[in-house]
Amino acid sequence: MLRLLLERLEARVAAERPVTVALAGAGRFGTSVAAQISQMEGLRLAAVADPNVDNGVEALKAAGWATEQWRQCDSASKARDAIASGTAVLAPDAEVLESAPIEVLVEATGIPEVAARNAWGSLRQGQHVVMVTVEADVSCGWALAREARRQGVVYSLAAGDQPVAIMELYDWAMALGLEVVAVGRGTRRYPADRHGDPERALARLGYDSEAAARLRLNAQMYNSFRDGSKAQIEMCAVSNMTGLPPDRRGMHEPSAGLDALPDLFASADSGGLLESSGVVDLANGVGPDGESELPENIADGVWAVVTSDRGHIREDMQIHGTRVSADGRRMALFREYHLCGIETPLSIAQAALLGASSGQPLETPTSEVLAYAKRDLRPGDTLDGSGGRLVYGLIDRAETLEAEGVLPIGLAYGSRVLEPVAADQPIPAGAVEPRTGSFVAHLREKDAVDH
C-alpha cells in the first residue's frame, strides 16, 4: 500500500498537480498535520480555517507559507479565486472553503457540532474528509460515512491517532486469518483522574503555563485524556469500525504491562478477564497501587491479542518474538507509540489518490459512549462535554443507550440540565434539554428515519 501511495504521489509531483488540502482547526494536532504536509511532495496545504487568526497563521507558517503567499478570505468566491491562483487562504470557518478547489478536508476542530457540520458540508461538495475529531465520529460518523458513499468520496479517520493505529493491527491480523481476541490502546489513568477539572489538567500532565501557551494546548481536550473519556471515545470509534463490542460497560482497563496482555485479555475459563472473545478494551500503565507506572507499559501505544487454531502458527509467532500467554495460545501484537498529526497525511493521500479510507464506521454503530455526571448536576447546569467539569463518558453497546434512555456523549455539549442527576450516574436523555439546532442531533435523527 505504501509503495503504491508513494508512486501516486510521485505522479502528482511530475504532473505539477499536488493534492490540495484544507485544514479546519489549527490547534496542536492540526498544526502538526500542516508541518508534516510541508515535508511531503505531492501534497499542498492550500487553506486553513480557524476563527483564531493566530492559530491559523501558525499552521500556515508550519506548512511553509511565507506571509506574502497567503491571504485572509471571508467569502467563498474570494477563497475559490485565491486557491485557484496558487495563493493559500486563511478563513474564519470551513464553510468559506466548501466550494473551493479542495480535494481533502482535514477536520481537527475538536468540537463535535462544528466537526459534523464541516464534514457534512465538504462531503456534499465532493471533497474527501479525514476526521480527526473522534468525538464527532462516535456521535454520527456512520451517517457521515454513508453520505460519503452516496457522494462517491472517502470519509476516513486519521492515521497517527490511536483508532487507526489499532485498525492497522486489526487489519493485519484479519488479513492473515488470525482470530482477534481483543484490541485496544494504552492509558495512563490514576484513581482520582475520572473527576478531574480541565483547569488542573495540564499541570497534572506535567505542562507549566509557558509550555501550555507555546504548544497551544486545549485544556479540556487534555483533560479528556486524563479523565478517561478520550480513551472510551477512541475505543468506541474502533468498535464501530470493526464490529467488536466492549466486554462490559467502560471496559476492563486493567493495570497491565506488555507481558501481561495475552494472559489478561483471555476468556475467564483460561484465567483471563473476558466473558467473550473479540472485544475492545484498554490497558492501564498505572500499577494496581494507583501511584506507580508499570515497567514496559503501553500507555502511549496500541495493542492486539490474537490467536490461531494452528499450533504451528502459534509456535512460529512465539519463536519470532511476540509476547505469548502462559498457555502458549495467545500472542500480543503492539506498537508502543502513536504519531498524532505526523502520520495523518497518509490518510489524506490514501483518500485522494487511492479512494481508500484508513478506517471508517460500519453501516450501523456497534457501540456508543454514554454521558455520565462527573459531579451532582442541578437544574440549570449546562453540560460541557468530554473533558469538561460536568461530564465524562463510558462505552457500552449501542442498543444499551436506547434501551436505558441515556444521553450520548455527543449531545452533552451545551445541553441544559432539567432534572437532578447524581454524580457517577448515567445522564438520562430526558433529564436535559438538547442544544437548539444541534447538527449532531439532526444527523442522528435523520439516520434513524433513513433506517
- Mark whether 384 and 303 lie in a shared domain: no
Q: What is the DSSP string of 396-446?
A: EEHHHHHHHTBPBGGG-EEEEE-S-B-TTSB-BGGGEEPPTT-HHHHHHHH
Instruction: Give the pLDDT band of residue 384 (cuts 50, 70, 90).
Output: very high
The answer to whether residue 10 is domain-embedded is yes
Structure confidence by residue, pLDDT tens digits, 130-154 = 999 999 999 999 999 999 999 999 9
- Mark whether 170 and 149 lie in a shared domain: no
- Mark whether 155 and 170 lie in a shared domain: no
What's 403's domain CATH number? 3.90.1210
Containing structural domain, residue 153: 2-160+341-354
Task: Determine the Cα–Cα distance for residues 60 and 47; give it in Å rounded to an integer.
Answer: 8
- Which pLDDT score is estimated for 447? 67
- Which pLDDT score is estimated for 376? 98
Instruction: Give the pLDDT band of residue 1 (cuts 50, 70, 90).
Output: confident
Q: Which residue has the higher pLDDT, 436 or 346?
A: 346
Q: Which residue has the higher pLDDT, 349 or 445?
A: 349
Report whether 357 contacts 351 (CB < 8 A): yes
Task: Determine the Cα–Cα distance for residues 245 and 367; give it in Å rounded to an integer.
Answer: 6
Tell me the whole-structure pTM to 2 decimals. Answer: 0.96
The answer to whether residue 74 is domain-embedded is yes
Question: What are the helix (H) ranges across 191-330?
Answer: 198-204, 209-215, 219-226, 229-242, 261-264, 311-319
Task: Determine the Cα–Cα distance for residues 19 and 2; give it in Å rounded to an integer.
Answer: 17
The answer to whether residue 128 is domain-embedded is yes
Cell 449546562 locates to 382
- Mark whether 92 and 175 lie in a shared domain: no
CA angle 209, 212, 216 (to 5 degrees): 140
Q: What would the mean pLDDT of 199-219 be, rounded to a whole number? A: 83
- Mark whether 172 and 145 lie in a shared domain: no
- Mark whether 8 and 69 lie in a shared domain: yes
- Mark whether 185 and 138 lie in a shared domain: no
The answer to whether residue 195 is domain-embedded is no
The answer to whether residue 194 is domain-embedded is no
The answer to whether residue 168 is domain-embedded is yes
- Mark whether 239 and 112 lie in a shared domain: no
- Mark whether 290 and 316 lie in a shared domain: yes
- Which pLDDT score is estimated for 448? 62
- Which pLDDT score is estimated for 199? 86
The answer to whether residue 36 is domain-embedded is yes
- Mark whether 176 and 126 lie in a shared domain: no
The answer to whether residue 249 is domain-embedded is yes
Task: Determine the Cα–Cα distance for residues 255 and 288; give it in Å rounded to an integer.
Answer: 6
- Mark whether 350 and 428 lie in a shared domain: no
Q: What would the mean pLDDT of 353-357 be, rounded to a whole number? A: 98
Task: Determine the Cα–Cα distance for residues 418 and 435; give it in Å rounded to an integer.
Answer: 12
- Mark whether 175 and 316 lie in a shared domain: yes
- Which pLDDT score is estimated for 216? 80
Domain boundary among 323, 354, 385: 354
Task: Determine the Cα–Cα distance for residues 409 and 411; give it in Å rounded to an integer.
Answer: 5
Which amino acid, 137?
D
Structure confidence by residue, pLDDT tens digits, 81-90 = 999 999 999 9
Indicate the average pLDDT of the chain: 95
What's 144's domain CATH number? 3.40.50.720
58-67 contacts, C-beta under 8 A, 24 or more apart: 58/26, 58/31, 58/216, 59/23, 59/26, 59/30, 59/31, 59/34, 60/34, 60/88, 60/90, 62/31, 62/32, 62/34, 62/35, 62/38, 63/34, 63/35, 63/37, 63/38, 63/88, 64/38
Task: Determine the Cα–Cα distance for residues 395 and 304; give it in Å rounded to an integer.
Answer: 19
Domain count, the chain: 3
Does an H or E element contain 157, and which?
strand 155-157
Percent of the chain topping pLDDT 90: 88
